[in-house]
Amino acid sequence: MSAGLLAVYSASGAAELGPFVHYGLKAMLNRGERAEAYVLTSSGVREVNVRLAREARVSARGTAAVGCVSPDGGCCAESPGGVRCAVAGSGTYVELRRDGVVIARRGTPLWHLALGAHGFDFIVVATESAAIEILGGSLRRSLLPGETVEISEMYVRSSREDTSGPLCALELIYTSRPDSRIDGVEVAAARERAARLLASKITFDVDVVTGIPETGAYYAASLAAALGKPYVPAFVVTERGRSALLDETLERVAAAQLKAGIIESAVRDRRVLLVDDSLISGMTIKLASQLLRHKAGALEVYAAIAAPPLRRRCPHGLKMPPESHMLFNAVGPADAMHVLEVDGLVYLTPGELEAALGETGLQVCTLCMRRER
């Protein structure tokens, strides 16, 4: 998962940037729980203590600030020239220089940055366009691949190197907020296209459709509509978290358990289609299937996955569990059904996913979903 980056510049001089930092980073909790931030004050650059789990007031008075959200932290680094918060190894970053200049760069098409404004007083750059809108700002556009935007008291200047290539498929399928836009495409609309194609591959009959919270819920609702079946929110979230990002098996099991309370009356004595966005180790699907079948009394449980199963770690540095944890590196589709304890399993192939998302005009990278050649 790529880090969520944020930069705020006050065009009218020193201002209280704390609310921008706190809520801008909190809007990107889908990208991790560890937040870092820095602000430029009259006495220099200082670190801001951001605790996203609490509504504590954050004081960050200054002319500009940068920050990031990531699963493990460490996405911001100080240097003699200032502070840079970056997507590791990508050339995509926001930087706060000690001379007061803010720089935002989208190094490749893989990772996104959006540019927006809050009235005439603040310029905001964020990985998620929704973060800009949550702050009360308006989205102006996505940075182009290879584009650098430099913001100072005297100017806003853009330059660009020619860079081509695809967008990371997981940004559209899994990582981003559904209410964000990437290169002009609403993430939710891209996910609906994937769900419609997935629905066309389902041959088994079901009574209800439900989704793994929270990443599978939108796909489940779209699938239910396409199949003409009721969508039921059968699971209750106890704690937000993305178990797919965790390396340790015990941590991933615990994270899955915390978000898997179940409403028995929604599925008892019914054939259930269980939907999720992606499949890595299969632990979340397996646990959900066990709950549906053994605790809630579902008659049959089928699984539908919006993306191809992951097969290898991202060659571009995206955080992922080891390849040894990826189910489809150990077993084939037929055996995977037995491992997951489901009565049927369907998912998109890399080519099908590329075609579905390509209908939006975006090309995507699916290397992590293919065997290395």
Residue predicted with more confidence, 175 or 318: 175
Say yes or no to pLDDT of 244 above 80.
no
Q: Which pLDDT value is given to residue 276?
A: 95
What pLDDT score was predicted for residue 73?
84
Residue 258 has pLDDT above 70, yes or no: no
In this prediction, residue 240 carries a pLDDT of 57
Local confidence band at 246 (pLDDT 50, 70, 90 cut-offs): very low
Q: 4-165: which CATH architecture?
A: 4-Layer Sandwich (3.60)
* Burial per residue of 289-308, b for 16 or more beta-carbon CB atoms within 10 angstroms, e otherwise: bebbbeebebebbbbbbbbb
The per-residue pLDDT for 214 is: 80
Predicted pLDDT at 260: 63
Please report the pLDDT score of residue 257 as a whole number.
52
pLDDT in tens, 94-146: 999 999 999 999 998 999 999 999 988 999 999 999 999 999 999 999 999 99
Query: pLDDT confidence of 256, banded at 50, 70, 90?
Result: low
Best CA proximity match to 110, nearest among 2, 25, 190, 30: 2
pLDDT of 344 strictly over 80? yes
What gap in Å lies between CA 237 and CA 226, rounded to an integer? 25
Torsion angle of the four alpha carbons 104, 109, 111, 116, in this order, in degrees rounded to the nearest 10: 50
What percent of the chain stands above pLDDT 90?
A: 76
- CATH number among 3.30.420.40, 3.40.50.1820, 3.40.50.12780, 3.40.50.2020, domain 169-369: 3.40.50.2020
Residue 51 confidence (pLDDT): 82
pLDDT for res 66: 98
What's the pTM? 0.89
Of the two residues 103 and 242, the one the predictor is more confident about is 103
Instruction: Quickly state the pLDDT bin for 22 (edges 50, 70, 90).
Output: very high
Here the tokens at position 197 are: 């194609």
pLDDT in tens, 181-203: 999 999 999 999 999 999 999 99
What is the pLDDT, as a whole number, of residue 170?
93
pLDDT at 315: 83
Mean pLDDT to the nearest integer, 300-321: 90
Q: What is the structure's pLDDT at 162?
A: 80
Q: Where are the domains of the chain?
A: 4-165, 169-369
Other CB atoms closer than 10 Å to residue 78's CB: what's the count? 13
Q: Which amino acid is at 226?
A: A
**CA distance to 188, 225, 236, 324, 328, per residue, from 281 (Å):** 25, 28, 22, 9, 8
Give 33-59 pLDDT, tens digit per residue. 899 999 999 999 999 988 877 666 678
